[in-house]
Amino acid sequence: MLSLFVSGFATAQNIQNDVVASGGGQATAGNLDLEYTIGEPVIETVGNATLTVTQGFHQTSLIITFIEDLSLNVNVRVFPNPAQSTLIVDMPVNLDYDFTCTLYNMQGEKLFSELITPGKNTISMQAYSNGNYVLMVKNRTNGKYTTYKITKNK
């Protein structure tokens, strides 16, 4: 009788994976599942041997095994910074690859892009208002790039 009484009040806990996010969705095609979330700026994972709780990006059981290094690894000089009317991008002269130079505003809008050559390349900054910009120098052959924060004054 006592075992019947105890078993009547004992319940097992079933824990589900739940995501609380401002947006997202789920799609299935064959044996492929895609789940995504939007608007999660904080990342944290805590847990013990039996339970893992994640906060932030929608996390699954995937393990990252390789991250490609996209660093340009070329000695590019960009000056003067802050710039006033012109910006100089000085590329090494012994390079056999084509490079592009692209200027973005802080909203990510492309303002300027052109092929650059070894040696000193001049970019006019006169048309742009004072503020901060991002300059990307990219190898057109292998896609590797480097970025610079550029400040425009006067």
State yes or no: pLDDT of 2 exceeds 80: no
Pairwise CA distance, residues 86 & 125, whole Å = 5
- Within this chain, do residues 148 and 81 fall inside the same structural domain, yes or no? yes
Q: What is the pLDDT of residue 45?
A: 73
- Within the chain, residue ranges assigned H as helices are 2-9
Which residue type does 79 have? F
In a domain, 1, yes or no: no
Helix (H/G/I), strand (E/B), else coil: 31: coil
Q: What is the pLDDT of residue 71?
A: 86
Report the pLDDT averaged over residues 2-8. Answer: 51
Residue with tokens 């990307």: 136
Q: What is the Rg, in whole angstroms, of the alpha carbon atoms belonging to the chain?
A: 26
pTM higher than 0.75? no
State yes or no: pLDDT of 89 exceeds 90: yes
Domain that holds residue 25: 17-67
- Within this chain, do residues 32 and 81 fall inside the same structural domain, yes or no? no
Pairwise CA distance, residues 97 & 77, whole Å = 17
